[in-house]
Amino acid sequence: MAQPVTDEGAESKSARTRKRILDAAAYILSRKGYAGTRLSEVAELAELQAPAIYYYFASRDDVVEEVMWSGIADMRAHVSEALDTLPASTSPLARIMVAVEAHLRHELEISDYTTASIRNAAQVPEKIRTRQVAEEIAYGTVWKKLFKDAAEAGALAEHLDLGAARMLILGALNWAAEWWTPEAGPLDAVVRAAQTMVISGLGPGGNPSPLDV
């Protein structure tokens, strides 16, 4: 005999359905952009009837807003976790290299949410960017600390503008979402190139390998 569905079971099913909707939306948004994202296509990919989406979200913009926020929140958690697992003896520059790799891999390989967030930041209406902007500021503090620690350790070029350098690096890392595909070459090569460029630009002199910092 079939068992009755408990409240907990119903909630779990509802949460799974909501996640399917968001996963589908993130996939489409990351590839087709804000203007090209249709709830009918999201519903099809999520294996739902289109009207069912409105049980979970009031509008298309509500779906997009959740994806955009989640992408940056997930990125911050991923990069922070990668940094937190490093030994205490890890040098400040090596920590920046780890953050570079974690950012690129999450953006390009791990999360459609993050790809969607980065690629659509300038496309979505400001009214649905509020939570995302707040999360971007929180994520920025992770990078500010990395640069501050490296500067205090004397690991950066003496006259480097830390704010400008940080924003230039993050801008370059984010731009990879616009041009990189697996057909463009292995992601490992992109990570290595980014680390080499960053370490060469930040260091007080010479061109050390990312593996030697």
Report, at the CATH architecture level, how domain 68-212 is classified: Orthogonal Bundle (1.10)
For the chain, which residues make up each domain, given as ranges? 68-212
Q: What is the mean pLDDT of the chain?
A: 91
Residues 58-90: tens digit of each pLDDT: 999 999 999 999 999 999 999 999 999 999 999
Residues 142-153: tens digit of each pLDDT: 999 999 999 999
Please give the pLDDT value at position 203: 79
CB 51 within 8 A of CB 137: no
CB 44 within 8 A of CB 93: no
Residues in contact with 76: Cβ distance below 8 Å, sequence separation at least 6, in sequence order: 135, 138, 139, 142
Which residue stretches of the chain are H helix? 7-36, 39-45, 53-56, 60-84, 92-105, 112-120, 130-152, 162-179, 187-202
Grouped pLDDT means (10 residues each) for the chain, 213 residues: 46 90 97 96 95 94 97 98 97 97 97 96 92 96 97 92 96 96 94 94 63 48
CB 114 within 8 A of CB 72: yes
Rounded Cα–Cα distance for residues 54 and 64 (Å) = 13
Residues in contact with 118: Cβ distance below 8 Å, sequence separation at least 6, in sequence order: 71, 107, 174, 177
pTM for the whole thing?
A: 0.88
